[in-house]
Amino acid sequence: MSLIVQKYGGTSMGSPERIREVARRVQRFVKEGHRIVVVPSAMAGETNRLLGLAKELNPEADPRELDVIASTGEQVSIGLLSIALHRMGLKARSYTGFQVPIRTDDAYSKARILAIEEQNIRRDLAAGNVVVVAGFQGIDAGGNITTLGRGGSDTTGVALAAALKADECQIYTDVDGVYTTDPRIVPEARRLDTVTFEEMLELASLGSKVLQIRSVEFAGKYKVKLRVLSSFTDVNSTDMGTLITFEEDENMEQAIISGIAFNRDEAKITVLGVPDRPGIAFAILGPVADANIDVDMIIQNASTEGMTDFSFTVHRNEYRRAMQILEKVKAEIKARGVVGDDRIAKVSLVGIGMRTHAGIASRMFGTLAREGINIQMISTSEIKTSVVVDEKYMELAVRVLHKEFQLDKAPDEEKMRP
């Protein structure tokens, strides 16, 4: 008898009928003899609605109170799903994050899980209950409700699977797996049967919306078997979605590129005329980090007469705050100025095959050059190459790169050559 953790997204919980569908799917697994823990998100749009009400009252609302409000969407979901399961004759018991409890730090709206005390869940599973746990939330050392950030229900699901040593964590979404890129931009995009954790981690960090990056990090760290499936297929469907694996298999080794990720939510900031001396990077990025603003790509130009330009990217939502911080830093470090652009996008090639194939980056750059797409920044790792381009060229870049690397074809259909 397997122990399975199932996470369902907001669209899966979007109406009473959708909730009944989730309950029927859970019922099928219970009848097959599995023990089930379910982690539902808030109903689609509910968290935005709740936070919108708070912001209407006070645009600078206390983060602690915002977490109190935001966490209630999941509380409603676990109650509704438990009621639906009861109606089907199943034993079910719901838990909020603090009832488990899921211990977190006190970084409101961005809390990180520190520990999960799973004894209560194990007791209810042993008694034959389906356990329904609120995603996205926990409790800090002071007894305050915290939330894990957008997509945090994925993290809750994977963290519970790790704590319970579950046989599998199934992430049910409105898509049936991980694709080579977004099918809304490239209709020929192909669903992947398997993808490595390394690749999935890169895809998630670079803008793929299928899984939240922290959930992939958790899964990789604790070796949680992870599968992405659609909650909109027939309840009795045998569709296996996309399995995220720990090791490369023979088929995956044949592919140079597994997917193309992109992110519109980028902004670029350049500090001009910076003295080229030890510690200058810290002087610039330290205050940004102190404000809890994540920095992504970083480039420092070659020094000219002891001066250089320092560029980096941040999330677009953090752009204005970062600019305000750097305007203050500018005088302290005697920089010439600070300029920014919040209309950029990042496009990335990801694939474990890049380790053993030379020339991928130049092939990417040549493809973009032929389309007249200017590259503003470049970042590489062993299995990915990312470029920053003007936002208006993002979709074109994704389409031409998908075609260039023949991602519409399975590796066994046609081996790709650099």
- Whether the CB-CB separation of 385 and 378 falls below 8 Å is answered with yes
Same domain, 202 and 303: no
Residue 11 maps to a domain:
yes
- Give the count of domains, the chain: 2
pLDDT score of 416: 44
Q: 142-179 in b/e burial notation, b at 16+ Cβ within 10 A? A: eebbbbbbebbbbbbbbbbbbbbebebbbbbbebbbbb
Given a contact cutoff of 8 angstroms between Cβ atoms, the answer to whether 171 and 180 are in contact is no
| DSSP notation for 73-117 | HHHHHHHHHHHHHHHTT--EEEE-TTTTTEEE-S-TTS--EEEE-
Q: Tell me whether residue 410 is in a domain.
A: no
Residue 361: which domain range?
260-404
Which residue from 14, 157, 34, 19 is spatially nearest to 88, judged by alpha carbons? 19
Q: What is the pLDDT of residue 412?
A: 58
Q: Is residue 412 part of a domain?
A: no
| pLDDT reported for residue 410 | 76
Going residue by residue through the chain, which has 418 residues, state the pLDDT in tens, using 9 for 90 and above. Answer: 799 999 999 999 999 999 999 999 999 999 999 999 999 999 999 999 999 999 999 999 999 999 999 999 999 999 999 999 999 999 999 999 999 999 999 999 999 999 999 999 999 999 999 999 999 999 999 999 999 988 899 999 999 999 999 999 999 988 889 999 999 999 999 999 999 988 998 888 776 778 878 888 888 888 999 999 998 888 877 778 999 987 654 444 456 899 999 999 899 999 999 999 999 999 999 999 999 999 999 998 877 888 999 999 999 999 999 999 999 999 999 999 999 999 999 999 999 888 888 899 999 999 999 999 999 999 998 899 999 999 999 999 999 999 999 999 876 554 444 4
417 occurs within a structural domain? no
Does residue 147 lie in a domain region? yes
Do both 44 and 120 map to the same domain?
Answer: yes
Residue 101 belongs to a domain:
yes
Q: What is the pLDDT of residue 218?
A: 86
Query: Is 71 in the same domain as 180?
Result: yes
Of the three residues 250, 273, 299, the one that is the final residue of a domain is: 250
Do 311 and 342 lie in one domain? The reply is yes
Same domain as 228, residue 371: no
| 118 vs 103: CA distance, rounded Å | 11
Let me know whether 87 and 218 are in one domain: yes
Residues 207 and 323 in one domain: no
Which CATH number belongs to the domain containing residue 136 in this structure?
3.40.1160.10
Return the pLDDT at 302: 79
**Residue 275: inside a domain:** yes
123/229 same-domain check? yes
- Shared-domain flag, residues 62 and 139: yes
Are 166 and 44 in the same domain?
yes
Sign of CA dihedral 152, 155, 160, 161: positive
Residue 411 is assigned to a structural domain of this protein: no
